[in-house]
Amino acid sequence: MEIEICVKAAAGAPDVLGDCPFCQRVLLTLEEKKVPYNTHLIDFSNKPEWFLEVNPEGKVPLIKFDEKWISDSDAIVGLIEEKFPEPSLLTPPELTSVGSKIFPKFIAFLKSKDENDGTEQALVDELKALDEHLKNNGPYINGDKITAVDLGLAPKLYHLEVALGHFKKWTVPESLNHVHNYIKLLFSLPSFEKTKPPKEEYVIAGWAPKVNA
């Protein structure tokens, strides 16, 4: 059974994988489980008719299981785990929310026009909490074994690094050694190399309208 998956194409490059962290999360899951899949790149400036017919909301990622199309990355990742239990990527329930506030705090800081509004500190606090967790439990969130929570965080940390580096000349504080090691570990995964947006400028172009709004 080959899986059909629809993911975002890069802005201005419809035949190149785009910069959606939720799409990458699903692709990472399929790669880590060695599940064969067929990718459809969806050009957001010109969504194909067939795509809108099966998915009127026009959202990605979208995956086809047993002749049924399913959207929402949480639901999709859960289904992949159910249908392809080996190797298990299940995260213990008490760890599923580790790092979950980093992405919204990153967006708030990225869009911020006032350097004294506390958004930078709020992001640093979340990264410190992650660093503390990794210090005691690392190198991954659940110890030596990569799980779904890592695959959800990896694309978001990539966006954080690229977008904040470009728009704010900001980097993760050096003192957060465990976060730095974690990022290095995630970004060096063969599955990550294969599924990340091939050019950083696609990530930058994706965030530019939000930064300049």
Domain extent, residue 12, equals: 3-83
Residue 88 included in any domain:
no
Helices and strands (H, E) in the chain, number of each type: 9, 5
Q: What is the pLDDT of residue 1?
A: 63
23 is catalytic: no
User: What ranges make up the beta strands (E) of 11-145?
Assistant: 13-17, 37-42, 62-65, 68-71
Q: What percent of the chain has pLDDT over 90?
A: 92
**Crossing angle of helices 21-32 and 73-83, rounded to 10°:** 10
97 and 75 belong to one structural domain: no
Catalytic entry in 20, 127, 134, 153: 20
Residues 149, 203, single domain; the answer is: yes
Chain segment 70-114, per-residue pLDDT in tens = 999 999 999 999 999 999 999 999 999 999 999 999 999 999 999
Check whether residue 106 and residue 190 sit in a common domain: yes
In this predicted model, what pLDDT tens digit does every residue of 133-162 receive, in sequence order?
999 999 999 999 999 999 999 999 999 999
Does 111 share its domain with 198?
A: yes
Q: What is the pLDDT of residue 199?
A: 86
Confidence band (pLDDT; 50, 70, 90) for 30? very high
Q: Is the Cα dihedral 93, 192, 59, 55 positive or negative? A: negative
